[in-house]
Amino acid sequence: MSDVLKYGATAKWLHWLIAFIVIIMLIFGRTLESLPLSEREQMIMGHSGLGTLVLLLMLLRWGWRLSHEPPGAIGSMGLWQTRLSKTMHWSLYILLVLQPILGIFQAMFITDYEVLAFGVINYSGLATDSADMARVFHVLHGINATVLSVLVVGHIGASLYHHFFQKDSILRRMLPYGKP
């Protein structure tokens, strides 16, 4: 078992920065479709830019995670709880990398507007427009967002349960000035 007692500053920064962006994107992503085309194009510039940033931050975070040992399970956690938390964390890593990739594929095929991440990266120019392909990736991007939202709610619930009911150090060791 790991002797490390808490997450390092880099892991904490990456966790809270990514969490902040992703929660906003999951909430406001759903409203994109109801916008008129002119406004939607503007919003998608921001959405695809932030999504691209999440992808880059997640790749950095994954690399960091593999080279820096995280704190291990705490004494009061049984085997099933330890396994569940590991499965949950790796699922979040995988879905969070997949989400922007599916978004980028959707953007490459969209027929009715151009997707320019932050107004600079032209994803629409990467492939020939195809309404069918755009629809497939739109559905996959939407399904992945739904599964991700459920996992995030479960993850937040588990953290609060540890903090307020189990009264252990799980949440504190991820907080900026938290003591393990």
Residue ranges that bind ligand HEM, judged by CB under 6 A: 15, 19, 22-23, 25-26, 29-30, 32-33, 40, 44, 47-48, 51-52, 54, 65, 70-71, 85, 89, 92-93, 96, 99-100, 103-104, 106-107, 110, 115, 117, 123, 138, 141-142, 145, 152, 155-156, 159-160, 170-171, 173-174
19 vs 127, which CB is nearer to ligand HEM? Answer: 19
DSSP 45-100: HHHHHHHHHHHHHHHHHHHHHHHSPPP---TT--HHHHHHHHHHHHHHHHHHHHHH
Q: Using CA of residue 156, residue 162, residue 167, residue 169, what is the dihedral sign?
A: negative
Nearest approach, Cβ of residue 3 and ligand HEM (Å): 14
SS3 30: coil
Closest CA relative to residue 165, chosen from 86, 81, 91, 90: 81
Nearest approach, Cβ of residue 80 and ligand HEM (Å): 14
Nearest approach, Cβ of residue 177 and ligand HEM (Å): 14
Inter-residue contact 36 to 112 (CB < 8 Å) = no
Nearest approach, Cβ of residue 33 and ligand HEM (Å): 4
42 vs 159, which CB is nearer to ligand HEM? Answer: 159
